Structure 1
Amino acid sequence: MSVVADPLALDRNGRHWALLAAVGCVVPLLLQLPASLAWPIAAAGAATTALAWRNPLPTAIRVVLTLLVVMAVLGVSGIRFGRDTGCALLAAMLAIKPAETARLRDARSLIGFALFAPFATFLLDEGPLSLVLGLSAATGALAALQRLADFESGDTGFNMPWQHRVRSVLHLLLIGMPLALVTFWLFPRLASPMWGVPDRALARPGLSETMRPSDWVDMMGDDTPTLRVRFFGATPRRDEMYWRHLTLWQFDGEEWTSPRWMRDMAPQELPVFGPRWDYELEVEPTDRRQLPALDLPVQPPSGTRLISDWSLRTTAPLTSLTRWRLQSAMPLQQKGVLAPALRAAALELPAGFNPRTLALARQWRREAGNDDAAIVDRALQWIRHDFAYTLATPPWGRNAVDEFLFDTRAGFCQHFSSSFVVLMRGAGIPARVVTGYAGGYRNPIGGYWIVRRSDAHAWAEVWLPARGWVRVDPTAAVAPERIYDTVADRLPGTGNLLGDFGMPLWNVRDWLRRNWNDLVLGFDATRQSRLFEPLGFGKVSASQLGVVFATCAALALLWMVWLSARGRREPDPVLRAWHRLGLRYRRLGLERVPHEAAGDWVTRVAATRPDLAPDLQELSHRFVNWRYADPRPGTRGTRAASELIRALRRHRPKFRT
């Protein structure tokens, strides 16, 4: 009894195509997920593919796998559902999809669902790398679908080299590229989106609304840019660049936080400003509402508001790249009296913590009398003489300030600012912690400034009766010879295998990313309305832009039709070689006409050129047998087709001498 092969069964090479296409689609998404999610999903995909390589897994096992991956994703992200959680679930489902991929329908389903992955990647990142990987994934998926279609139709070209198949898909993408570009640049954009996407369940790395000394260690070595700044006119010195993020008032002995009621208060103390700086701020997504700004912003830009501590808070979370035009100035003095509620908040300390620090503060108060500035100077002199800067610090204990000031006397900005503020409050001086970024790095390519996550900093502010809030940076008071983790150790691109070439490459990479942000991500409705200003036109309205778009889109469609007609060719490589053979006889006046049968054409050629008849008759006979005769073993196989194609390509009719 003979066994009939399943015509819809997936062949070995087709399975390889489907799996590689799915992997190519999932990789861009995995690169944007946290490592705690990406690595387990990748491992689950590899294990599932290996177990189901020969036969699909039983339904019960597939159900168990589905439950396990869902529980794993929710276990990492928590019960809160965000767009990163949804993307992780999509990647996890695709990872276990090979467990049931055995037929053509299954392979098409896998590739179809996998195409959602590169699109979902843009919910997490809109960078050029994600675009390149997404386009590559889409190209591979289309090539795999084309290969499955050829296999199902029985076309002998289904095993053509992968380079030829990818080239054909790229040709299709080239046809549609003009219309895509016209749509991106000219389709009227809305000033605000009609819908939104959920926030992330897992926070992005960066400054949060709390501060613990152990939270920033990983960030200190992170070269990822968080701000890019372009100054118009005067530029402050690097030691004057303090990028204010948030002011922290409440301390529980371990963590600094900011009370929510202060976020609704407008600034009460009015500063007397010194020199001003005009600049544009490009902010990477943080998913938070705090907008870092050069200390102090003079006026809040549209979409933000100043709160009581002179920091900026946006009306919507910073979920995408944003640009802000700001003016800031150095405060020389603040007028007014500190409000009683703010004074109480700036003097509050938890009971039962750091007794040695409080005893020292009371002693300094007795010795200094009412001279608050003398106490501040005394603390800075102590730090300059006896303290060191290092990232290698012990864990934060219960009386951490006592341990830092009297035992270790070594730490980084969080230790210095936290301990300084506790010491000042113990002496009766209102003080608070300010978090943000300090300094920056000037990229010589483009001449703009980059503020990285590793520039995260914390400093202190004290209230002095004659001056108001005064910035005090105790970390900067450390003597240079006592700084063990220098700024040079954290220059961008220096901590890798490229050595001296690391920094120039880092500069080029960030310059390219900035231009990508400017040309692509920053292209909004406002910039679109001014697209034709360099050509001498003014601001165009939405209706005018619609007319331009319709005209250009029609031209792009005509281009697609013309290029499709011009680039149309026979998909079967044997037929394509046969047609080209007929075209070679055109210079002899013996070209085969489309309606002419192969035998009739050979007879016509033999009547005029008998010397060409034997070779052409043999090729014609082989082609007719391949095309129309009953299939025999090996007749229409890949090897037989390849030999026929080579023979057809080698034949060259010659002129009569």
Structure 2
Amino acid sequence: MSGTKLAASQPPIPRISLTWLLVAQALVIVPHIGHLPLWVLALWLFCAGWRVQIFRMRAGYPNAWAKAGLMLAAGAGVLLSRGSLIGLDAGVVLLIAAFVLKLVELRTQRDALVLIFLGFFCVVTAYLFDDSLTAAAFSALPISALLAALIGLQQSHLAMRPWPTLRLALVMLAQALPLMLLLFVFFPRLAPLWSLPNPGNQARTGLSDSMTPADIAELSKSAELVFRATFDGPLPERNQLYWRALTFEQFDGRRWSQAPVGQLLAPPTWSKNGSPLTYSIIMQPSGQNWLFALDVAQSNAADIQHMSDFSLQRKLPVEQTLQYAVNSWPTALRAPAALSASLAHDLQLPASGDPRSRAWAAELRAQYPSNAALVQQVLTHFNREPFGYTLKPPPVGVNSIDEFLFRTRRGFCAHYAGAMTFVLRAAGIPARVVAGYQGGELNPAGRFLTVRQFDAHAWVEYWQAGQGWISVDPTFQVAPERIEQGLEQALSAEQSFLADSPLSLLRYRNIGWLNTVRQGWDNLNYGWQRWVLGYQTEQQLRFLQRWFGRMDSQLLLLALVGGGGLLLGVLTLFLFKPWRREQDPRLRQFLRFQGLLARHGVQRLPAEGPRAFALRAAAELPAQSAAIQHFAAAFEAQQYALSHPDPLALRRALATLRRALPWRFSRG
């Protein structure tokens, strides 16, 4: 049978189904707008308009040449906008384009089914770019519209009624929720068979593997979320919240960068001291390997490595929201007996440049033979001299350290950390710059800390024999309010906090009710990340063991099968309602009519027909006579096939009668 004959043999697509398909396509595309090229949106408007004109018989279906041309144009558009047809980002754009193009060739219900199932798949791909609570809640809209389109395809009494179609779709979605929850709780968390890289065009902000002072200052203009942390016990003081990410040990005169990876792979040498801090972190995707933790951190996760510089790194980049548990010992001794060879790269300086800083370091070394005394003198210098803290430092020339220390004296944390590390190295003290974040905002409702990009910070570590690595923060000497209160207070004089984001709610934390709403929403998102996105293998086992004791694969399978069978049984009973005495929907409505009148004192007599009963009831209840006779007439028309069956008409007539009867007697 040819394609034309096959299409003619299948029923056409009802108008309601086509309407819901157009609505569903728009809702499916909305979450992708941020990463779709504009030509895809223009393509959808073109295809939707063409399909409407086809339905109105003002345009024809595309022929084979037109379809081939549209496909080639879409492929060329993906290639030009993404640089490739291979990869996650390009694949999603190509999928959305195919989803749009399929619209213009819809002829039969089979074509519509293909489009609907393709739409469900497109909804899932949106989670690759955004897995937030808002995105999850929004996805219910395109799913409902796709279900409504699927229902509208069926030749039933709903085929010409849009809102009952949507209502049935919502009911079906609600009926599926218990089974979805069961699968979520009990279905084993399996490791993926492959890893999907982060979409190439998705913007990333955050720390990088090298740093200039301007980089950290740029981060401080962003309110983007970096991670959230929850402590098992009391929260540390704010001035102890130094979240290490990575260390910079190489300096070329302008930029600090990490040491080669090979130097960092050796396990760190340190000894625990005091009680540990126990906490968990939910980290946003960064596209980088390093994690965030307080010193000295230890994690038992199999894919987390402990680097020789006391940082934590993951074997694979963090491409999706990641939850991990950490123990930290703030008073631990770090490499107190390090070998000179291992400290050599922490004394590295460019062969030339910044002569005044080198001369000052030589003077300090001559005056202070003790490393601790020399370090303290540098900190005192920053504290007593007229240094300033600003996001808008004056520009510096080739000798950046000299110009900052002796001319501009205004800068951000990276200026102070870099300058101090340079001076200490010039004085013969092993030192390095540590980059990460400092502080965090406490959410009172959820008792967790929220760390954002504007909390980015840099500080200094220097090595002392017998004491190991010691952390100092020169920024504290210049702007102690940055460490004790936060960036907003430190920049209050120049009013540059989030100056490029006037609509950010973080700028209005002084407005009580607005801040409460913001923190409440933040708490909801944190719960979503912690209990839904973070519900992975370890969390699942802990949860099930807490509720069911010992849990292995056999018990998990039994719980899944047993719970699923029970839920399906309950849903089956709910749908078929075998306890109802009457299966005929028309007679069921008449029995409700009879029971309603009985509660108002009008009992149906034995062998009394529907019309006679209605006439007698109308005589006994004259105020409701019209409503009674209207229901009786509708029932006769339905029961004796005087019109097309319409159970909803009987239901509406019964509802009209119920409203007309005195409310104090009615229980229906």
Alignment map for 1:187-336 (pairs within 5 Å): 187=187, 189-190=188-189, 192-193=190-191, 195-202=193-200, 204-217=204-217, 219-233=219-233, 235-258=235-258, 259-268=260-269, 270=270, 274-286=273-285, 287-297=287-297, 302-318=302-318, 319-331=320-332, 334-336=335-337
Residue of structure 1 equivalent to 2:177: 177
Distance in 1 separating the partners of 2:334 and 2:592: 88
Distance in 2 separating the partners of 1:614 and 1:380: 95
Q: Secondary structure at 1:434's aligned position in 2?
A: strand
Q: How many residues align?
A: 605
1:522 equivalent to 2:540? Answer: no
Q: Is the 8 A contact 1:421 1:433 kept in 2?
A: yes
Q: Is the 8 A contact 2:336 2:464 kept in 1?
A: no
Letter in 2 for 1:139: S
Residue of structure 1 equivalent to 2:165: 165
**CA 367–73 in structure 1, closer or farther in 2 if over 3 Å, else same:** same
Distance in 2 separating the partners of 1:315 and 1:591: 82
Q: Is the 8 A contact 1:29 1:87 kept in 2?
A: no
Counterpart among 138, 144, 148 of residue 139 in structure 1: 144
Q: Secondary structure at 1:392's aligned position in 2?
A: coil
1:565 is displaced (CA, Å) by: 0.6
| Per-residue deviation, residues 70-118 of structure 1 (Å, max 9, x unmatched) | 125424xxx6965455434434544555455576555443332121122
Unaligned runs of 5+ in 2: 1-6, 54-58, 499-503, 596-602, 620-624, 662-668
Distance in 2 separating the partners of 1:205 and 1:96: 35
**CA 61–405 in structure 1, closer or farther in 2 if over 3 Å, else same:** farther
| Per-residue deviation, residues 502-556 of structure 1 (Å, max 9, x unmatched) | 3222322232233333433333444444546556x53222212322332222211
1:365 is displaced (CA, Å) by: 0.5
Distance in 1 separating the partners of 2:379 and 2:225: 31
1:66 is displaced (CA, Å) by: 0.6
**CA 235–543 in structure 1, closer or farther in 2 if over 3 Å, else same:** same
| Per-residue deviation, residues 439-473 of structure 1 (Å, max 9, x unmatched) | 22222113233333322211122234564422222
* TM-score calculated relative to the size of structure 2: 0.76
Q: Secondary structure at 2:308's aligned position in 1?
A: coil
Q: Secondary structure at 1:494's aligned position in 2?
A: helix
Distance in 2 separating the partners of 1:29 and 1:421: 45
Letter in 2 for 1:248: F
Residue of structure 2 equivalent to 1:564: 575
Q: Is the 8 A contact 2:634 2:649 kept in 1?
A: no
1:71 equivalent to 2:79? Answer: yes
Moved more, 35-44 or 330-339: 35-44
**CA 40–328 in structure 1, closer or farther in 2 if over 3 Å, else same:** farther
**CA 498–438 in structure 1, closer or farther in 2 if over 3 Å, else same:** closer
Distance in 2 separating the partners of 1:171 and 1:110: 22
1:650 is displaced (CA, Å) by: 6.5
Moved more, 41-50 or 443-452: 41-50
Alignment map for 1:357-376 (pairs within 5 Å): 357-366=354-363, 368-369=365-366, 370-376=369-375
Alignment map for 1:458-607 (pairs within 5 Å): 458-465=458-465, 467-479=467-479, 486=489, 493-495=505-507, 499-531=511-543, 538-566=549-577, 580=589, 584=593, 588=604
Counterpart among 26, 42, 59 of residue 29 in structure 2: 26
Alignment map for 1:436-455 (pairs within 5 Å): 436-455=436-455
**CA 643–608 in structure 1, closer or farther in 2 if over 3 Å, else same:** closer
Q: Is the 8 A contact 1:530 1:538 kept in 2?
A: no
Q: Secondary structure at 1:158's aligned position in 2?
A: coil
Letter in 2 for 1:24: L
Q: Is the 8 A contact 2:301 2:324 kept in 1?
A: no
**CA 72–544 in structure 1, closer or farther in 2 if over 3 Å, else same:** same
1:305 is displaced (CA, Å) by: 3.0
1:119 is displaced (CA, Å) by: 1.6
Q: Secondary structure at 1:208's aligned position in 2?
A: coil
| Per-residue deviation, residues 351-393 of structure 1 (Å, max 9, x unmatched) | 56xx3x3333224314532454455344434433232222234
Distance in 1 separating the partners of 2:294 and 2:276: 9
Q: Secondary structure at 2:207's aligned position in 1?
A: coil
Distance in 1 separating the partners of 2:390 and 2:206: 20
1:51 is displaced (CA, Å) by: 6.6
Letter in 1 for 2:308: S
Residue of structure 2 equivalent to 1:16: 19
| Per-residue deviation, residues 175-207 of structure 1 (Å, max 9, x unmatched) | 3333222222233x25x5152332214374333
RMSD over aligned CA atoms reads 4.5
Distance in 2 separating the partners of 1:590 and 1:415: 98
Q: Secondary structure at 2:437's aligned position in 1?
A: strand
**CA 567–177 in structure 1, closer or farther in 2 if over 3 Å, else same:** farther
Q: Secondary structure at 1:361's aligned position in 2?
A: helix
Q: Secondary structure at 1:289's aligned position in 2?
A: coil
**CA 103–406 in structure 1, closer or farther in 2 if over 3 Å, else same:** farther
Q: Is the 8 A contact 1:235 1:277 kept in 2?
A: no
Distance in 2 separating the partners of 1:305 and 1:316: 11
Moved more, 618-627 or 407-416: 618-627
Distance in 1 separating the partners of 2:518 and 2:607: 60
| Per-residue deviation, residues 227-271 of structure 1 (Å, max 9, x unmatched) | 333334454321111111111122334433221212322225x46
Residue of structure 2 equivalent to 1:420: 420
Distance in 2 separating the partners of 1:177 and 1:513: 20
Distance in 2 separating the partners of 1:498 and 1:235: 23
**CA 541–50 in structure 1, closer or farther in 2 if over 3 Å, else same:** same
**CA 494–200 in structure 1, closer or farther in 2 if over 3 Å, else same:** closer
Moved more, 254-263 or 40-49: 40-49
Residue of structure 2 equivalent to 1:117: 122
1:334 is displaced (CA, Å) by: 4.5
Distance in 2 separating the partners of 1:610 and 1:464: 101
Distance in 2 separating the partners of 1:181 and 1:643: 36
**CA 99–66 in structure 1, closer or farther in 2 if over 3 Å, else same:** farther
**CA 377–18 in structure 1, closer or farther in 2 if over 3 Å, else same:** same
Q: Is the 8 A contact 1:49 1:98 kept in 2?
A: yes
